[in-house]
Amino acid sequence: MSMNRKVLAIAAAIVVVAAGGVGIAYAVGGDSEEQVTGPAADKAKSAALDMVGGGTVTEIEHQEAGSAGVYEVEVQRPDGSQVEVHIDDQFQPVGTAADDDSGSGEDEDETGEAEDD
């Protein structure tokens, strides 16, 4: 094998390893959703707390594409349970989902009752 091919093979191997490392770092890096700040965060927080009847907001993010609402507000209720409140672009609640980190994420309607599929 010529010297140029060896260098090219080593460079390609380094690129593959680096790309794998970046992918792993992204995967274990946690939540990559954009946090909401400023007046929009304040309005979304207020709407979410009104919806669930109080609690502590732990996170405000832009909602994932294809999901109900524009904002996702995570609220810890006084009883310790967590709920995600979905808020639209007019800062009106459009639904909630359990936030138990188990992956079940059962959707609820605006009354907090589980929806039938």
* pLDDT tens, residue by residue, 81-94: 999 999 999 999 99
Domain ranges of the chain: 1-30, 38-108
Mean of the per-residue pLDDT values of the chain: 76
Spatial distance between the Cα atoms of 17 and 15, rounded to a whole number of angstroms: 6
Express each pLDDT in 45-55 by its tens digit.
999 999 999 99
Residue 42 has pLDDT above 90, yes or no: yes
pLDDT at residue 71, rounded to an integer:
92
Backbone angles phi, psi at 78, to 5 degrees: -55, -25
Q: What is the pTM of this model?
A: 0.57
At 87, which helix (H) or strand (E)? strand 82-87
Which two tokens mark 55? 């609690």
pLDDT at residue 45, rounded to an integer:
95
- For the domain bounded by 38-108, which CATH number is listed? 3.30.505.20
pLDDT at residue 75, rounded to an integer:
95
At 38, which helix (H) or strand (E)? helix 38-52
Averaged pLDDT, 96-107: 59
Residue 104 has pLDDT above 50, yes or no: no
Cβ atoms within 10 Å of 42's Cβ, excluding its own: 13
